[in-house]
Amino acid sequence: MGKPTGFMEYERKSSPSIPPLERLRNWNEFHTPLPEKERKIQASRCMDCGVPFCQAGVDIMGRTTGCPLHNLIPEWNDLVYRGNWREAYRRLKKTNGFPEFTGRVCPALCEVACTCNLTGSPVGGKETELAIIEMAYREGWAAADPPDVRTEKKIAVVGSGPSGLSAADLLNRRGHHVTVFERFDRPGGLLMYGIPNMKLEKRFVERKLGIMEEEGITFVTGADIGKNVEAGKLLEDYDRVLLACGASKPRDINAPGRDAKGIFFAVDFLRANTKALLDSDGKAVCSENAKGKNVVIIGGGDTGNDCLGTCIRHGAKSVVQIEMMPKPPEKRTENNPWPEWPNVLKTDYGQEEAIAVFGSDPRIYETTVKEFIKDKKGDLCAVKTVRLSWEVENGRRVMKEIPGSEQELPCELLLIAAGFLGAQDYVAEAFGVERDKRGNVATAPGEFATSVRGVFCAGDMHTGQSLVVKAISQGREAAKAIDLDLMGYTLCG
């Protein structure tokens, strides 16, 4: 695949990003694609390694390495290198219906597993994927392609995030009539309201949704199943129902002063900001913004980083990101070999921007909030933090506070980005589906049918909080299960 000696002749080259201080002036994506000639050279680095770990999508030591969608990465690298972009698009679409999203927000699990990591830098599969799909849109290859034959079967998909859209796409292509219900005012779920614009511009989400509508999928917004729409109505009107509502129950921080004004869950904050930008054509941000405020973000993951980049664009006075875990090492340790996921320090775009603006890394490790401090009006004015140590008790690692390590940080805005605790209760209760001990909708191992006949589940609502690429994979597998259950055989995929 590619040029046999390409990985030895060419160094990895990534799409350049706009410098932090410059890109903070707006909410746009900030990577500039490589020219077509250079992209071909990068694709030629795919080394014909014999065993394409990049498309394996397997779990090793609890972390996924390789593409969960099993994208045919060596194949479309070779096709791009040879200039056959249209066939590269066909091979890409065979496994992934949404490369315009994964090409922007996926953490590139394929690159983690690339064999080139053994002696150098991995092949840039993620950027090649994005180049292929954008070429397809420019050339008209990605235009709407409605199914020629309809089955007259009706399917309701509850939730329009990546898993719901992925399932809807395959089921519609199969010929079923698909209606997607979304509780908010715009479809797209996490893609629309959970990921900020500078990471995924909403025009690309709207572009894909428009094509899906042209292909026959119906989107119903403002439909909050279990609240303003009865679950029984869906069970009565549709042949099958897929629950794809995500793991949208945020983990709270219960400490004294939690009722202070100025504390928000990260997902609510990001949604409000994106909605304000969309409603004002990019001219306004949410009313509860970070301008002139000292901000503390609890959580060191992707959502916390997205909050960081958002608050800096608001014009925050200062931003601190608190992480309970120890600081990761700069390089792989001996007990973390390839092709395992590299447990190393990652400085994402938000941290890069904070360093550029404030002169230092905003992250504080092995720390948690012990108290929220209010002023006389009940507004948040500071937080008391405490350092943590990790100790072993009865064979388990536990966190313990370090006496005397308390510190008070000024804070008028605090964002909780500490993860999620499974599906929201009212949706699962409305359908009467069983849940597991983690709060996710329960199914048999490796299956998607719930305890209620005709009701299926996919995505984070099924597995717990995960990645967009995994949610897309879940949606595809759930579509196959639904089609098989409906028809006795499946043509999905």
Q: Which residues pair with 242 in a beta bridge?
A: 157, 456
For position 393, what pLDDT does the model report? 86
What residue ranges of the chain have pLDDT lower than 70?
1-2
For position 50, what pLDDT does the model report? 84
Q: Which two tokens stand for residue 387?
A: 């350092």
For position 423, what pLDDT does the model report? 84
- Tell me the residue length of the chain: 493
The per-residue pLDDT for range 7-26, each reduced to its tens digit, is 999 999 999 999 999 999 99
Domains of the chain in sequence order: 6-139 (1.10.1060.10), 154-248+421-487 (3.50.50.60), 263-416 (3.50.50.60)
For position 473, what pLDDT does the model report? 97
Contact 212, 188 (CB under 8 A): no
Taking the C-alpha atoms of residue 421 and residue 430, their distance in angstroms, rounded to an integer, is 18
Nearest to 420 by CA among 466, 473, 364: 466
For position 1, what pLDDT does the model report? 62
Tell me how crowded residue 150 is: count the other CB atoms within 10 A of its CB. 13
The per-residue pLDDT for range 310-365, each reduced to its tens digit, is 999 999 999 999 999 999 999 999 999 999 999 999 999 999 999 999 999 999 99
Torsion of CA 158, 162, 165, 167, to 10 degrees: -90
Strand order of the β-sheet with 363-364 is 263-265, 413-416, 294-298, 318-322, 363-364
Contact 219, 182 (CB under 8 A): yes
